[in-house]
Amino acid sequence: MIRDSLSNVSDQINVIIYEAKIVQNIVQVKWKNISTRSSSSYYLYVNATLQLPLECHSGSKCTDDIQTALEETPLTNLTLITANGTVEIQVEKATVQGLKPLNPQANYIGLIVGIVLAVLSILVLVGVASYVIVQKRKALKLNKQFHGDYNLPIDQKYLKKKHSYGSKVFSYELDESNPFHWPFARLVKNWMGPLESDFELETIEIVENRDKFNHFRQQIEIVESRRIQPVFQPVLDKESNPEERQKVLKRLDGLCERVTHNRKANIVRVWHGCNKQLLPQLLGEGFAALGQLDDGWFGKGMYFSSSAEYASRYCPQNENACLIMCYVLVLNPFPVIYDDAPKDVKPEKFRFYGSGNYRTYQCHYIPVAPASDRKPTMNFRPPLEGTDHADYDELVVFESAHILPQIVVHLKAPRPLSPKIQSVPAPMNAPTLYEIDSLFRKYYRME
């Protein structure tokens, strides 16, 4: 009779009763008799399963949906027909404790797939973590192998980004009031020394191009492997005045010794004066385009000097003046002396005018001095008296990958004349000293 009463609750519900009895133990009761007419110490215990007409495929969210529907359903009234009459019983809400899918095999497949995905996820996480750890160890090992002045001089956590020179270049302006900045800023000033043309230092910034930096370290290894090969050894016996040329190389060796590092390659610290509008190109893409601007007195390449004062002569005399400090790899340099660029010939007759690197020499090094007493002058050549009488020097580099920019020094334009000193009005569109020098080099004029 109980089975029939439960089955009649709904035509859509199939009731399977496993057990039905009257018990006295309250703990065993699932559906408690709230309004029963019998003794309050006895309870009706029914163990039954209600099969709902719902499909639940493996992997679906049907369990949560059914549970939500049950929570929104009010208490159910159950009518029982007994020997003493009809009893209305209100039963508690049912809960979903273990919904079985229609296709048990599909559930096993879903379980297996879930386990496989979980294992794969763990393996991927372990792989990623291992990769990160390995990369960090490689970076630490690589930093130990390549330690020197050419590395970032200040920890990046003490630096703040400033200028924008493109997506590849990071710029950090030095603040001399910062205790982590001022020691290096003072060091840069010592490297610079006094400047010509009344230029004043405005700001100093550190620049970093990770792609160029990594490429530079690769080039260090290449240079180190080549420096011991016979083809890259200097052969000066057949050159004019080999003794003087050896002095030139000795002077360059002294400059290389000023750079601290733990590699076998020779590295020199040099300067390049330019217009700051060229910075995005030079810092982002490299110096290769500079070699195409003019033919070059001592070779068609990229020009640098160990003297910031000398390099500043090639800066525009306005607010766009700046100096770039670079580290350059030196492999088999050719020493240029007075015999290669005599005082009494035009620049177009110089031995290396407009030419590339000489034989297997990777760069040209030229100690220079003013060719006349006239000031200002841009006519600097190797002195007749020899290297010891050279005031400045020039380094012609033919491989852009051998150049690593590190510092940009922004300069203040020359101070205006005093009101008491009246300057002669210049004609419209008067050329700057920088432009005059370009014209001078182009048309080979001599003083």
Say whether both 187 and 278 belong to one domain.
yes
pLDDT at res. 7 = 47
Sign of CA dihedral 283, 308, 385, 236: negative
Amino acid at site 336: V
Mean pLDDT of 128-156: 87
- Domain membership of residue 407 (yes or no) is yes
- The pLDDT, as a whole number, for residue 218 is 95
Residue 141 confidence (pLDDT) above 50: yes
Mean pLDDT calculated for residue range 3-8: 49
With respect to residue 97, please indicate whether it lies within any of the assigned structural domains.
no
Whether the Cβ atoms of residue 240 and residue 342 lie closer than 8 Å to each other: no
Whether residue 282 sits in one domain with residue 187: yes
Single out the residue of 374, 270, 385, 398 nearest to residue 337, CA to CA.
385
% of the chain residues with pLDDT over 90: 52
pLDDT of residue 238 exceeding 60: yes
> Is 232's pLDDT higher than 80?
yes
- Residues 269-283: what's their mean pLDDT? 95
Cβ(378)–Cβ(372) under 8 Å? no
Q: Which of 283, 273, 267, 256 is nearest to 308 (CA)?
A: 273
CATH of the domain at 196: 3.90.228.10
Q: For 9-13, 131-135, 238-242, 336-340, which range has the lowest pLDDT when averaged over its residues?
A: 9-13
Same domain, 342 and 247: yes
| 349 and 247 inside one domain | yes
Contact call for residues 253 and 365 (beta carbons, < 8 A)? no
345 near 246, Cβ under 8 Å?
A: no
| Whether residue 171 sits in one domain with residue 84 | no
224 backbone φψ class: left, alpha, beta (φ>0; ψ -120 to 50): alpha
| Same-domain check for residues 252 and 293 | yes
Same-domain pairing of 192 and 82: no
Collapsed DSSP state (helix, strand, coil) of residue 161? strand
Q: In this structure, are residues 54 and 66 in contact, taking their beta carbons and an 8 Å threshold? A: yes
Is 309 within a domain? yes
Token duo for residue 418: 């005093």
Residue of 330 and 20 predicted with greater confidence = 330
Residues 231, 361, single domain; the answer is yes
- pLDDT at 184 exceeding the cut of 70: yes
Please give the mean pLDDT across all residues of the chain.
81
Average pLDDT in the 376-382 region? 88
435 and 322 Cβ atoms separated by less than 8 Å: no
Q: For residue 123, is it within any domain?
A: yes
Please report whether residue 6 resides in a domain.
yes
Q: What percent of the chain has pLDDT over 70?
A: 70
Per-residue confidence (pLDDT) for residue 387, from 0 to 100? 96
Q: Give the residue among 160, 148, 140, 403 at the shortest CA–CA distance from 270.
A: 403
On whether both 168 and 229 belong to a single domain, the answer is yes
Residue 75 counted as domain residue: yes
- Please report, as a single letter, which amino acid is at residue 56: C
With respect to residue 376, please indicate whether it lies within any of the assigned structural domains.
yes
Indicate if 178 and 33 belong to the same structural domain: no
Of residues 199 and 205, the one with the higher pLDDT is 205
Task: Look at the alpha carbons of 271, 273, 276, 282 in this order and tell me if their dihedral is positive or negative.
Answer: negative
Q: How many structural domains comprise the chain? A: 3
Most confident of 1-5, 38-42, 315-319: 315-319
pLDDT in tens, 81-103: 666 677 676 666 555 554 444 44
| 98: in domain | no
State the alpha helices, DSSP H only, in 200-355: 210-226, 242-256, 279-284, 308-312
d(CA 152, CA 213): 10
Whether residue 300 sits in one domain with residue 178: yes
CA neighbours within 13 Å on the CB side: how many for 143? 9
Residues 222 and 283 in one domain: yes
Among 111-125, 152-166, 324-338, 366-380, name the most confident range.
Answer: 324-338
Rounded distance, CA 338 to CA 386, Å? 8
**Host domain of residue 324:** 154-415+427-443
